[in-house]
Protein backbone atom coordinates (compact mmCIF):
# COMPACT_ATOMS: atom_id res chain seq x y z
CA UNK A 1 0.00 0.00 0.00
CA UNK A 2 1.14 3.57 -0.58
CA UNK A 3 1.39 5.37 2.76
CA UNK A 4 2.37 8.88 3.80
CA UNK A 5 3.59 9.56 7.33
CA UNK A 6 3.58 13.25 8.25
CA UNK A 7 6.17 14.08 10.92
CA UNK A 8 9.44 12.17 11.07
CA UNK A 9 10.20 12.41 14.77
CA UNK A 10 10.47 9.59 17.31
CA UNK A 11 7.12 8.11 16.23
CA UNK A 12 6.85 9.04 12.54
CA UNK A 13 10.35 7.94 11.61
CA UNK A 14 10.00 4.59 13.37
CA UNK A 15 6.49 4.03 11.97
CA UNK A 16 7.63 4.95 8.44
CA UNK A 17 10.66 2.66 8.58
CA UNK A 18 8.57 -0.20 10.00
CA UNK A 19 5.78 0.24 7.41
CA UNK A 20 8.48 0.02 4.73
CA UNK A 21 9.69 -3.20 6.37
CA UNK A 22 6.11 -4.50 6.09
CA UNK A 23 6.58 -3.94 2.32
CA UNK A 24 4.52 -0.78 1.97
CA UNK A 25 5.69 2.16 -0.15
CA UNK A 26 6.23 4.99 2.31
CA UNK A 27 6.74 8.74 1.93
CA UNK A 28 7.92 10.41 5.13
CA UNK A 29 6.98 14.09 5.15
CA UNK A 30 8.47 16.73 7.42
CA UNK A 31 8.64 20.52 7.32
CA UNK A 32 12.06 20.57 8.97
CA UNK A 33 14.41 20.94 5.99
CA UNK A 34 17.51 20.12 7.98
CA UNK A 35 15.99 16.89 9.27
CA UNK A 36 15.00 15.91 5.71
CA UNK A 37 18.46 16.71 4.35
CA UNK A 38 20.08 14.67 7.15
CA UNK A 39 17.73 11.73 6.56
CA UNK A 40 18.37 11.78 2.81
CA UNK A 41 22.11 11.91 3.47
CA UNK A 42 21.89 8.75 5.55
CA UNK A 43 22.07 10.34 8.98
CA UNK A 44 19.81 9.11 11.76
CA UNK A 45 18.47 11.91 13.93
CA UNK A 46 17.51 9.75 16.94
CA UNK A 47 19.13 6.96 18.93
CA UNK A 48 16.94 3.88 18.52
CA UNK A 49 17.89 0.19 18.24
CA UNK A 50 17.36 -1.39 14.78
CA UNK A 51 16.42 1.96 13.21
CA UNK A 52 19.78 2.27 11.38
CA UNK A 53 19.27 -1.22 9.87
CA UNK A 54 15.74 -0.42 8.69
CA UNK A 55 16.73 2.95 7.21
CA UNK A 56 19.68 1.36 5.41
CA UNK A 57 17.39 -1.34 4.04
CA UNK A 58 14.68 0.94 2.70
CA UNK A 59 16.03 4.48 2.23
CA UNK A 60 15.56 5.60 -1.38
CA UNK A 61 13.65 2.42 -2.20
CA UNK A 62 10.44 1.76 -0.24
CA UNK A 63 11.10 4.80 1.96
CA UNK A 64 11.50 8.31 0.59
CA UNK A 65 11.56 11.72 2.26
CA UNK A 66 9.66 14.80 1.16
CA UNK A 67 8.46 18.25 2.18
CA UNK A 68 5.62 18.16 -0.36
CA UNK A 69 2.69 17.05 1.76
CA UNK A 70 0.14 17.47 -1.01
CA UNK A 71 2.00 15.37 -3.60
CA UNK A 72 2.61 12.72 -0.92
CA UNK A 73 -1.09 12.69 0.00
CA UNK A 74 -2.17 12.39 -3.62
CA UNK A 75 0.09 9.37 -4.03
CA UNK A 76 -1.16 7.59 -0.89
CA UNK A 77 -4.16 5.54 0.25
CA UNK A 78 -3.47 6.35 3.90
CA UNK A 79 -1.95 9.43 5.52
CA UNK A 80 -0.67 9.00 9.09
CA UNK A 81 -0.38 12.19 11.13
CA UNK A 82 2.55 11.82 13.54
CA UNK A 83 3.36 15.45 14.38
CA UNK A 84 3.92 16.72 17.91
CA UNK A 85 1.04 17.50 20.31
CA UNK A 86 2.89 19.44 23.03
CA UNK A 87 1.14 20.84 26.09
CA UNK A 88 -0.20 24.39 26.15
CA UNK A 89 0.42 26.53 29.24
CA UNK A 90 -2.96 25.38 30.55
CA UNK A 91 -1.94 21.73 30.17
CA UNK A 92 -4.18 20.96 27.20
CA UNK A 93 -2.81 19.29 24.07
CA UNK A 94 -1.74 21.89 21.50
CA UNK A 95 -3.38 20.56 18.35
CA UNK A 96 -2.28 23.36 16.04
CA UNK A 97 0.27 21.12 14.25
CA UNK A 98 -2.41 18.49 13.67
CA UNK A 99 -4.82 21.14 12.38
CA UNK A 100 -2.20 22.55 10.06
CA UNK A 101 -1.63 19.08 8.55
CA UNK A 102 -5.40 18.57 8.16
CA UNK A 103 -5.66 21.87 6.27
CA UNK A 104 -2.68 21.09 4.06
CA UNK A 105 -3.98 17.72 2.91
CA UNK A 106 -7.60 18.82 2.30
CA UNK A 107 -6.92 19.97 -1.25
CA UNK A 108 -5.06 16.79 -2.16
CA UNK A 109 -7.90 14.28 -1.71
CA UNK A 110 -8.02 12.96 -5.28
CA UNK A 111 -9.36 9.47 -4.41
CA UNK A 112 -10.61 7.64 -1.28
CA UNK A 113 -8.09 8.04 1.54
CA UNK A 114 -7.88 7.25 5.22
CA UNK A 115 -6.41 9.99 7.38
CA UNK A 116 -4.99 8.36 10.49
CA UNK A 117 -4.20 10.00 13.81
CA UNK A 118 -0.95 8.46 15.04
CA UNK A 119 -0.15 11.39 17.30
CA UNK A 120 -1.59 11.16 20.82
CA UNK A 121 -4.66 13.36 20.75
CA UNK A 122 -7.69 14.01 22.95
CA UNK A 123 -11.05 12.44 22.26
CA UNK A 124 -13.00 14.31 19.56
CA UNK A 125 -9.86 15.16 17.56
CA UNK A 126 -10.92 12.87 14.71
CA UNK A 127 -14.19 14.80 14.45
CA UNK A 128 -12.28 18.08 14.37
CA UNK A 129 -9.92 16.85 11.66
CA UNK A 130 -12.93 15.87 9.56
CA UNK A 131 -14.59 19.29 10.10
CA UNK A 132 -11.41 21.17 9.18
CA UNK A 133 -10.95 19.11 6.04
CA UNK A 134 -14.57 19.65 4.97
CA UNK A 135 -14.21 23.40 5.61
CA UNK A 136 -11.24 23.33 3.28
CA UNK A 137 -13.25 21.69 0.50
CA UNK A 138 -12.21 18.05 0.87
CA UNK A 139 -14.95 15.91 -0.77
CA UNK A 140 -16.98 14.30 2.11
CA UNK A 141 -17.21 10.79 0.61
CA UNK A 142 -13.56 10.65 -0.39
CA UNK A 143 -11.99 10.32 3.05
CA UNK A 144 -12.40 8.92 6.54
CA UNK A 145 -10.54 9.89 9.69
CA UNK A 146 -9.28 7.05 11.88
CA UNK A 147 -7.37 6.78 15.13
CA UNK A 148 -4.46 4.34 15.40
CA UNK A 149 -2.69 5.25 18.63
CA UNK A 150 0.95 4.35 19.02
CA UNK A 151 2.17 2.48 22.08
CA UNK A 152 5.88 2.24 21.25
CA UNK A 153 8.39 3.08 23.97
CA UNK A 154 11.53 4.99 23.14
CA UNK A 155 14.56 2.74 23.47
CA UNK A 156 12.66 -0.28 22.13
CA UNK A 157 10.56 1.58 19.58
CA UNK A 158 11.21 -0.60 16.52
CA UNK A 159 10.52 -3.92 18.25
CA UNK A 160 7.53 -2.42 20.07
CA UNK A 161 6.12 -1.35 16.71
CA UNK A 162 6.73 -4.67 14.99
CA UNK A 163 5.87 -6.92 17.95
CA UNK A 164 3.07 -5.04 19.73
CA UNK A 165 0.72 -6.56 22.31
CA UNK A 166 -2.21 -5.14 20.39
CA UNK A 167 -2.97 -2.85 17.47
CA UNK A 168 -5.85 -0.47 18.11
CA UNK A 169 -7.76 0.49 14.99
CA UNK A 170 -10.31 3.22 15.67
CA UNK A 171 -12.49 3.42 12.56
CA UNK A 172 -16.08 4.54 12.16
CA UNK A 173 -16.78 2.69 8.90
CA UNK A 174 -15.95 -0.78 7.55
CA UNK A 175 -14.33 0.75 4.48
CA UNK A 176 -11.91 2.66 6.69
CA UNK A 177 -11.28 -0.30 9.03
CA UNK A 178 -10.42 -2.56 6.09
CA UNK A 179 -7.68 -0.16 4.90
CA UNK A 180 -6.15 -0.18 8.38
CA UNK A 181 -6.43 -3.98 8.63
CA UNK A 182 -4.62 -4.33 5.31
CA UNK A 183 -1.78 -2.09 6.45
CA UNK A 184 -1.14 -4.21 9.54
CA UNK A 185 -1.96 -7.58 7.93
CA UNK A 186 1.71 -8.74 7.83
CA UNK A 187 1.71 -8.51 11.65
CA UNK A 188 -1.79 -9.78 12.40
CA UNK A 189 -1.54 -12.75 9.97
CA UNK A 190 1.99 -13.52 11.14
CA UNK A 191 3.58 -13.39 7.67
CA UNK A 192 6.15 -10.79 8.81
CA UNK A 193 7.29 -13.05 11.64
CA UNK A 194 7.97 -15.93 9.24
CA UNK A 195 10.35 -13.84 7.17
CA UNK A 196 14.06 -14.64 7.53
CA UNK A 197 14.99 -10.96 7.44
CA UNK A 198 12.41 -9.89 10.06
CA UNK A 199 13.75 -7.77 12.91
CA UNK A 200 14.31 -10.31 15.72
CA UNK A 201 11.51 -10.96 18.18
CA UNK A 202 12.19 -9.57 21.65
CA UNK A 203 11.94 -11.99 24.60
CA UNK A 204 8.65 -10.83 26.01
CA UNK A 205 6.72 -10.27 22.79
CA UNK A 206 3.26 -11.70 22.24
CA UNK A 207 3.11 -14.56 19.68
CA UNK A 208 0.88 -12.50 17.41
CA UNK A 209 -0.69 -9.10 18.05
CA UNK A 210 -4.44 -8.78 18.38
CA UNK A 211 -6.14 -6.15 16.26
CA UNK A 212 -8.74 -4.34 18.35
CA UNK A 213 -11.21 -2.51 16.15
CA UNK A 214 -13.08 0.28 17.94
CA UNK A 215 -14.72 3.58 17.18
CA UNK A 216 -12.34 6.48 16.60
CA UNK A 217 -13.37 8.06 19.92
CA UNK A 218 -12.73 4.86 21.88
CA UNK A 219 -9.30 4.53 20.29
CA UNK A 220 -8.45 8.11 21.26
CA UNK A 221 -9.48 7.35 24.83
CA UNK A 222 -7.58 4.04 24.91
CA UNK A 223 -4.30 5.87 24.39
CA UNK A 224 -4.86 8.52 27.07
CA UNK A 225 -6.26 5.97 29.53
CA UNK A 226 -3.32 3.57 28.92
CA UNK A 227 -0.70 6.23 29.59
CA UNK A 228 -2.58 7.50 32.64
CA UNK A 229 -2.80 3.96 34.02
CA UNK A 230 0.90 3.28 33.50
CA UNK A 231 1.86 6.58 35.13
CA UNK A 232 -0.46 5.69 38.01
CA UNK A 233 1.35 2.36 38.42
CA UNK A 234 4.69 4.17 38.63
CA UNK A 235 3.43 6.72 41.15
CA UNK A 236 1.77 3.96 43.16
CA UNK A 237 4.98 2.01 43.51
CA UNK A 238 6.91 5.19 44.31
CA UNK A 239 4.45 5.91 47.11
CA UNK A 240 4.91 2.35 48.40
CA UNK A 241 8.70 2.85 48.19
CA UNK A 242 8.40 5.93 50.42
CA UNK A 243 6.57 3.88 53.04
CA UNK A 244 9.22 1.16 52.76
CA UNK A 245 11.88 3.79 53.47
CA UNK A 246 10.01 4.95 56.57
CA UNK A 247 9.54 1.48 58.06
CA UNK A 248 12.76 -0.18 56.89
CA UNK A 249 11.10 -2.60 54.44
CA UNK A 250 12.56 -3.49 51.04
CA UNK A 251 10.48 -2.28 48.09
CA UNK A 252 11.99 -4.87 45.77
CA UNK A 253 10.62 -7.64 47.98
CA UNK A 254 7.29 -5.89 48.26
CA UNK A 255 7.07 -5.47 44.46
CA UNK A 256 7.85 -9.13 43.91
CA UNK A 257 4.99 -9.98 46.23
CA UNK A 258 2.65 -7.58 44.47
CA UNK A 259 3.74 -8.24 40.89
CA UNK A 260 3.41 -12.03 40.97
CA UNK A 261 -0.35 -11.53 41.34
CA UNK A 262 -1.42 -12.06 37.73
CA UNK A 263 -4.08 -9.38 38.12
CA UNK A 264 -1.34 -6.82 38.78
CA UNK A 265 1.71 -8.06 36.86
CA UNK A 266 5.38 -7.24 37.52
CA UNK A 267 5.97 -4.58 34.86
CA UNK A 268 6.02 -0.86 35.64
CA UNK A 269 6.58 -1.67 39.28
CA UNK A 270 10.07 -0.18 39.42
CA UNK A 271 10.48 2.59 41.94
CA UNK A 272 12.78 5.42 40.96
CA UNK A 273 12.97 9.17 40.50
CA UNK A 274 9.60 9.40 38.76
CA UNK A 275 8.39 9.22 35.19
CA UNK A 276 9.33 11.78 32.55
CA UNK A 277 9.67 11.95 28.79
CA UNK A 278 7.61 13.59 26.13
CA UNK A 279 4.48 11.48 26.74
CA UNK A 280 3.40 10.73 30.31
CA UNK A 281 3.64 14.27 31.74
CA UNK A 282 1.84 15.91 28.83
CA UNK A 283 -0.67 13.11 28.24
CA UNK A 284 -1.75 13.09 31.88
CA UNK A 285 -2.33 16.83 31.82
CA UNK A 286 -4.20 16.57 28.52
CA UNK A 287 -6.36 13.69 29.80
CA UNK A 288 -7.20 15.66 32.94
CA UNK A 289 -8.21 18.65 30.75
CA UNK A 290 -10.36 16.46 28.52
CA UNK A 291 -12.09 14.98 31.57
CA UNK A 292 -12.67 18.45 33.00
CA UNK A 293 -14.20 19.63 29.72
CA UNK A 294 -16.53 16.65 29.85
CA UNK A 295 -17.57 17.63 33.39
CA UNK A 296 -15.48 15.06 35.29
CA UNK A 297 -12.77 16.11 37.80
CA UNK A 298 -10.19 13.33 37.45
CA UNK A 299 -8.55 13.99 40.86
CA UNK A 300 -6.72 10.67 40.80
CA UNK A 301 -4.54 12.12 38.04
CA UNK A 302 -3.69 15.17 40.19
CA UNK A 303 -2.36 12.81 42.84
CA UNK A 304 -0.39 10.73 40.33
CA UNK A 305 1.33 13.94 39.16
CA UNK A 306 1.91 15.18 42.71
CA UNK A 307 3.57 11.93 43.79
CA UNK A 308 5.75 12.05 40.68
CA UNK A 309 6.95 15.57 41.44
CA UNK A 310 7.48 14.65 45.09
CA UNK A 311 9.62 11.68 44.10
CA UNK A 312 12.24 14.04 42.63
CA UNK A 313 12.18 16.21 45.75
CA UNK A 314 12.67 13.10 47.92
CA UNK A 315 15.72 12.19 45.84
CA UNK A 316 17.16 15.68 46.33
CA UNK A 317 16.65 15.30 50.08
CA UNK A 318 18.47 11.99 49.87
CA UNK A 319 21.46 13.73 48.25
CA UNK A 320 21.40 16.36 51.01
CA UNK A 321 21.16 13.69 53.69
CA UNK A 322 24.17 11.92 52.23
CA UNK A 323 26.35 15.00 51.76
CA UNK A 324 25.01 17.54 54.29
CA UNK A 325 25.74 20.83 52.46
CA UNK A 326 25.70 20.97 48.69
CA UNK A 327 27.44 24.20 47.70
CA UNK A 328 30.78 23.43 46.08
CA UNK A 329 30.29 19.65 46.17
CA UNK A 330 31.39 17.77 43.09
CA UNK A 331 28.85 15.20 41.87
CA UNK A 332 29.26 12.54 39.21
CA UNK A 333 25.99 11.95 37.37
CA UNK A 334 25.22 8.84 35.34
CA UNK A 335 22.35 9.34 32.93
CA UNK A 336 20.57 12.35 31.48
CA UNK A 337 18.03 10.73 29.11
CA UNK A 338 14.55 10.30 30.56
CA UNK A 339 15.03 6.52 30.35
CA UNK A 340 17.64 4.03 29.16
CA UNK A 341 18.02 3.27 25.46
CA UNK A 342 17.13 6.71 24.12
CA UNK A 343 18.73 10.11 23.59
CA UNK A 344 15.45 11.88 24.43
CA UNK A 345 15.77 14.34 27.30
CA UNK A 346 12.30 15.90 27.06
CA UNK A 347 10.91 16.24 30.61
CA UNK A 348 13.74 14.03 31.83
CA UNK A 349 13.74 13.79 35.65
CA UNK A 350 17.54 13.43 35.41
CA UNK A 351 17.85 16.82 33.69
CA UNK A 352 15.49 18.46 36.20
CA UNK A 353 17.53 17.03 39.09
CA UNK A 354 20.83 18.17 37.58
CA UNK A 355 19.40 21.67 37.11
CA UNK A 356 18.31 21.79 40.77
CA UNK A 357 21.72 20.56 41.97
CA UNK A 358 23.56 23.11 39.84
CA UNK A 359 21.28 25.80 41.24
CA UNK A 360 22.25 24.70 44.74
CA UNK A 361 25.90 25.27 43.88
CA UNK A 362 27.05 21.73 42.98
CA UNK A 363 29.61 21.06 40.28
CA UNK A 364 28.26 18.30 38.07
CA UNK A 365 30.23 15.98 35.79
CA UNK A 366 27.73 13.95 33.77
CA UNK A 367 27.86 11.00 31.44
CA UNK A 368 25.13 9.57 29.22
CA UNK A 369 25.80 7.06 26.41
CA UNK A 370 23.43 8.76 23.95
CA UNK A 371 21.92 11.98 25.27
CA UNK A 372 25.08 14.06 25.68
CA UNK A 373 24.61 16.35 22.67
CA UNK A 374 20.94 17.07 23.40
CA UNK A 375 21.72 17.63 27.08
CA UNK A 376 24.60 19.96 26.24
CA UNK A 377 22.18 22.25 24.37
CA UNK A 378 19.93 22.41 27.42
CA UNK A 379 22.46 22.54 30.25
CA UNK A 380 25.23 24.40 28.34
CA UNK A 381 28.30 25.36 30.37
CA UNK A 382 26.81 24.61 33.79
CA UNK A 383 27.70 20.93 33.49
CA UNK A 384 30.89 19.13 32.47
CA UNK A 385 30.24 16.19 30.10
CA UNK A 386 32.52 13.18 30.29
CA UNK A 387 33.25 10.29 27.94
CA UNK A 388 32.52 7.49 30.39
CA UNK A 389 31.10 6.70 33.81
CA UNK A 390 34.49 6.53 35.56
CA UNK A 391 35.49 9.99 34.36
CA UNK A 392 32.21 11.36 35.73
CA UNK A 393 33.01 9.71 39.07
CA UNK A 394 36.59 10.95 39.24
CA UNK A 395 37.20 12.93 42.41
CA UNK A 396 33.45 13.27 43.05
CA UNK A 397 31.96 13.62 46.52
CA UNK A 398 29.24 11.17 45.40
CA UNK A 399 27.96 9.41 42.31
CA UNK A 400 24.29 9.75 41.32
CA UNK A 401 22.63 7.18 39.02
CA UNK A 402 19.70 8.84 37.28
CA UNK A 403 18.96 6.77 34.14
CA UNK A 404 18.65 2.99 33.90
CA UNK A 405 21.11 2.35 31.08
CA UNK A 406 22.31 -1.28 31.04
CA UNK A 407 25.94 -0.21 31.15
CA UNK A 408 25.34 1.58 34.48
CA UNK A 409 24.20 -1.70 36.01
CA UNK A 410 27.49 -3.37 35.07
CA UNK A 411 30.15 -0.97 36.29
CA UNK A 412 33.57 -2.13 37.48
CA UNK A 413 32.97 -1.41 41.16
CA UNK A 414 36.66 -1.46 42.15
CA UNK A 415 37.49 1.07 39.46
CA UNK A 416 34.54 3.20 40.54
CA UNK A 417 35.63 3.04 44.19
CA UNK A 418 39.12 4.21 43.27
CA UNK A 419 37.80 7.06 41.10
CA UNK A 420 35.46 8.58 43.68
CA UNK A 421 36.74 10.99 46.34
CA UNK A 422 34.26 9.41 48.78
CA UNK A 423 32.69 6.04 47.93
CA UNK A 424 29.10 7.24 48.09
CA UNK A 425 26.57 6.14 45.46
CA UNK A 426 23.02 7.52 45.39
CA UNK A 427 21.08 5.34 43.01
CA UNK A 428 17.76 6.69 41.73
CA UNK A 429 17.14 3.54 39.66
CA UNK A 430 17.94 0.70 42.07
CA UNK A 431 20.51 -0.84 39.72
CA UNK A 432 22.57 -2.46 42.48
CA UNK A 433 22.06 -4.83 45.39
CA UNK A 434 22.64 -2.87 48.63
CA UNK A 435 24.44 -5.81 50.27
CA UNK A 436 26.87 -6.11 47.37
CA UNK A 437 27.53 -2.36 47.41
CA UNK A 438 28.23 -2.35 51.15
CA UNK A 439 30.51 -5.37 50.81
CA UNK A 440 32.42 -3.56 48.05
CA UNK A 441 33.03 -0.58 50.29
CA UNK A 442 30.31 1.86 49.25
CA UNK A 443 27.84 3.86 51.23
CA UNK A 444 24.82 3.24 49.08
CA UNK A 445 21.44 4.95 48.97
CA UNK A 446 18.65 3.69 46.73
CA UNK A 447 14.85 4.00 46.47
CA UNK A 448 12.57 2.15 48.88
CA UNK A 449 15.43 0.21 50.46
CA UNK A 450 17.45 1.01 53.58
CA UNK A 451 20.70 2.85 52.94
CA UNK A 452 23.82 0.78 53.70
CA UNK A 453 27.43 1.50 54.52
CA UNK A 454 30.62 -0.61 54.41
CA UNK A 455 30.48 -1.03 58.17
CA UNK A 456 27.62 -3.37 57.41
CA UNK A 457 24.76 -1.56 59.08
CA UNK A 458 22.03 0.58 57.65
CA UNK A 459 23.04 4.23 57.66
CA UNK A 460 20.63 6.32 59.64
CA UNK A 461 17.62 7.41 57.64
CA UNK A 462 17.60 11.16 58.14
CA UNK A 463 14.48 12.73 59.63
CA UNK A 464 13.39 14.48 56.44
CA UNK A 465 13.02 11.09 54.77
CA UNK A 466 11.29 9.50 57.70
CA UNK A 467 8.65 12.15 58.01
CA UNK A 468 6.22 12.23 55.17
CA UNK A 469 6.36 14.27 52.01
CA UNK A 470 6.27 17.99 51.47
Ligand X SMILES: NC(=O)c1ccc[n+]([C@@H]2O[C@H](COP(=O)([O-])OP(=O)(O)OC[C@H]3O[C@@H](n4cnc5c(N)ncnc54)[C@H](O)[C@@H]3O)[C@@H](O)[C@H]2O)c1
Any idea which residues carry the catalytic annotation?
Answer: 279
Nearer to ligand X, 278 or 308 (CB): 278
Please give the helix or strand (H or E) that residue 376 lies within, else none.
helix 372-379
Distance between CA atoms of residues 230 and 232, nearest Å: 5
DSSP assignment string, 104-125: HHHTT--S-EEEEE-S---TTH
- In angstroms, give the least distance from the CB of 403 to ligand X: 16
Q: Which of residues 265-284 bind ligand X (CB under 6 A)?
A: 278-279
Nearest-CB residue to ligand X?
9
User: Per rule CB under 6 A, is residue 120 in the interface with ligand X?
Assistant: yes
Q: Which of residues 139-178 bind ligand X (CB under 6 A)?
A: 150, 152, 154
Q: Which of residues 55-94 bind ligand X (CB under 6 A)?
A: 82-85
Q: Pick from 125, 138, 149, 169: which is nearest to 73 by CA?
A: 138
- In angstroms, give the least distance from the CB of 104 to ligand X: 7
User: Per rule CB under 6 A, is residue 97 in the interface with ligand X?
Assistant: yes
- In angstroms, give the least distance from the CB of 243 to ligand X: 31
Report yes or no: 404 and 335 within 8 Å, Cβ to Cβ: yes
- Alpha-helical (H) ranges within 42-95 are 51-58, 69-74
Distance between CA atoms of residues 61 and 469, nearest Å: 56
Q: Which of residues 3-32 bind ligand X (CB under 6 A)?
A: 6-12, 29-32
- In angstroms, give the least distance from the CB of 66 to ligand X: 10
* Contacts with 83 (C-beta within 8 Å, 6 or more apart), sequence order: 6, 7, 9, 12, 97, 98, 101, 119
Nearer to ligand X, 7 or 434 (CB): 7
Measured in whole angstroms, how far is the alpha carbon of residue 254 from the centre of its chain? 26
Distance between CA atoms of residues 29 and 132, nearest Å: 20
- In angstroms, give the least distance from the CB of 290 to ligand X: 14
Residue of the chain from 100, 226, 355, 382 that contacts ligand X (CB under 6 A) = 100
Q: How many CA atoms lie within 13 A of 417 on its CB side?
A: 12
Nearer to ligand X, 10 or 444 (CB): 10
For residues 316, 320, 323, 328, the Cα torsion angle rounded to the nearest 10 degrees is 80
User: Per rule CB under 6 A, is residue 368 in the interface with ligand X?
Assistant: no
Q: How many CA atoms lie within 13 A of 181 on its CB side?
A: 13
Residue of the chain from 24, 35, 224, 233 that contacts ligand X (CB under 6 A) = 35
What are residue 367's DSSP bridge partners? Answer: 334
Q: Pick from 23, 18, 267: which is nearest to 160 by CA?
A: 18
- In angstroms, give the least distance from the CB of 405 to ligand X: 17
Q: Which of residues 403-442 bind ligand X (CB under 6 A)?
A: none
Nearer to ligand X, 280 or 315 (CB): 280
Nearer to ligand X, 235 or 278 (CB): 278
Size of the site for ligand X (CB under 6 A): 26
Nearer to ligand X, 103 or 317 (CB): 103
Applying CB under 6 A, the residues found at the interface with ligand X are: 6-12, 29-32, 35, 82-85, 97, 100-101, 119-120, 150, 152, 154, 278-279
Amino acid sequence: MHITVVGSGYVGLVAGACFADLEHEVILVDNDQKKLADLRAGQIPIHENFLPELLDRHRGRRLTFSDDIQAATQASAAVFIAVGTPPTEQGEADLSYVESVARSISGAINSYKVIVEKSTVPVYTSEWIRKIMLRNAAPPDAFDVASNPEFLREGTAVTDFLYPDRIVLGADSERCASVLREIYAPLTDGSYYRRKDAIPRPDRAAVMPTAIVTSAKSAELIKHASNAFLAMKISFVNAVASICESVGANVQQVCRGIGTDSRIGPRFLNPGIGYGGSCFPKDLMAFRSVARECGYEFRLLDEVMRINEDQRQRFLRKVRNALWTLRGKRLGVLGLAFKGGTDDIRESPAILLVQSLVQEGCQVAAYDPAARERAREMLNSSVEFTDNAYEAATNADALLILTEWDEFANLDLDRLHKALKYPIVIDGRNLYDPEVMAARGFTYYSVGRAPVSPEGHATDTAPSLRTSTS
